[in-house]
Amino acid sequence: MFRTSGKLSDGREILYYDLAPGREVTADERGLPLVESHSEIRYDALLDEWVAIAAHRQTRTFLPPADECPLDPSAPGRLTEIPAPDYEVVVFENRFPSFSGDTGRCEVVCFTSEHAGRFGGLSPQRVRLVVDTLADRTEALSAHPGVEQVFPFENRGEEIGVTLSHPHGQIYGYPFVTPRTRQQLESARRYRDRTRRDLYADLLGKERDSGERVVAENTHWTAFVPEAARWPVEVHLYPHRGVRDLPELDDAERDDLATIWLDVLGRLELFHGRALPYIAAWHQAPVRVDRELARLHLEIFSILRAPGKLKYLAGSESGMGVFVNDTRPEAVAARLRELGA
């Protein structure tokens, strides 16, 4: 992996990640005004959670036509967020960040220069480059004094809320440890205090021993549908070794991750016979606290419960946080295994 850094005309950082050296930085000729984003975080004392207020995001780009996509490479007469005429993987500071300045950092990750492409259609070599990129950005953002947790993710599909169709993901550098992570770590702490064992390792061991919900596995990773899945289609990818974040993965683990990630996405694409809207969410250890309790894993889930039918978060889910799943995890796992045969 070769990283080349540059600046956009409004002062934001842009980073090119390539498989070979020799990248020349192309100047951004748009002459944009300096970015002025005023996100803030407010504390909800009742739930002991932080909420981001980012009113400037109301004006962000929303579903532009293909010939106006800001994530395409620049071309004569059409300048975009990426000044270069072509690229492999690019990361740049979000122009409309949810968190900025002292309240964290938000980055956009473009997986390919092909506007009509998709992450699941990338080559294993390109996915490995994405893995290396996410690991590099995790390490860099973890060194940021205002960041307490690094969260790489991909939103795919308009049903999920994607506003740009170009294949891309994002990385949030949160200025706090997120509620979901705090809840997981507290569960892991209680389990360790009671059993002297690792909760994540035992959950993975239980799934591998049973095999009933395992979707795919290779030397270093296992993909399975969790026993208490919340979403109609949900798959978790766990490394067999208890690493805390993406930078801790070795070369063999990264290679195997690229393979099984594509395998799982391929099965998911076939599940409903149409492009699947999904969220792919990387869970990593916080930067400074409770790292010894955490375990890296990827959660991929979809709100599509049947062709043409979405799982809406209604009264129980939105009002009380109690999920009601319309699909049986064992049946979903069996179907996904069949689709890879």
pLDDT in tens, 231-257: 999 999 999 999 999 999 999 999 999
Mean pLDDT of the chain, nearest integer: 95
131-134 long-range CB contacts below 8 Å, 24 or more apart?
Answer: 131/246, 131/249, 131/254, 131/257, 131/258, 132/1, 132/17, 132/254, 133/1, 133/17, 133/89, 133/91, 133/109, 134/109, 134/171, 134/246, 134/282
Give yes or no for residue 78 having a pLDDT over 90: yes
**Residues in Cβ contact with 105 at an 8 Å cutoff, skipping those fewer than 6 apart:** 93, 97, 99, 141, 144, 146, 147, 172, 173
Query: What is the pLDDT, as a whole number, of residue 64?
Result: 86
Segment 39-45 shows an average pLDDT of 93
Would you state the structure tokens that stand for residue 277, as one six-digit string? 């809207």
User: Percentage of the chain with pLDDT > 70?
Assistant: 99
pLDDT band at 35 (very low <50, low <70, confident <90, very high): confident
SS3 212: coil
Q: How many Å apart are CA 300 and CA 274, to the nearest integer?
A: 17
Query: What is the pLDDT, as a whole number, of residue 100?
Result: 85
pLDDT in tens, 258-295: 999 999 999 999 999 999 999 999 999 999 999 999 99
User: In the chain, at which residue ranges do the beta strands (DSSP E only) sit?
Assistant: 2-7, 13-18, 40-44, 49-53, 89-93, 105-110, 149-156, 168-174, 214-217, 221-224, 233-239, 278-283, 297-302, 304-306, 309-310
Q: Is the dihedral of CA 281, 286, 287, 292 positive or negative?
A: negative
Give yes or no for residue 108 having a pLDDT over 90: yes
Q: Where are the domains positioned within the chain? A: 73-341
pLDDT in tens, 133-168: 999 999 999 999 889 999 999 999 999 989 899 999
CATH number of 73-341: 3.30.428.10
- Residues β-bridged to residue 151: 172
Q: Which of 339, 305, 341, 333 is nearest to 224 (CA)?
A: 333
Would you state the structure tokens that stand for residue 28, as one six-digit string? 């951004």
* Residue 168 annotated in active site: yes
Determine which one of 38, 56, 166, 168 is catalytic: 168
Strands 168-174, 304-306: pairing kind:
unpaired
Give yes or no for residue 101 having a pLDDT over 90: no
Q: What is the phi/psi pair of residue 286, to 5°? A: -60, 160
Query: What is the pLDDT, as a whole number, of residue 202?
Result: 98
Query: What is the pLDDT, as a whole number, of residue 38?
Result: 77
pLDDT band at 132 (very low <50, low <70, confident <90, very high): very high
Segment 84-95 shows an average pLDDT of 96
- Residues β-bridged to residue 311: none
Contact indicator for 62, 163 with CB cutoff of 8 Å: yes
Strands 40-44, 49-53: pairing kind:
antiparallel
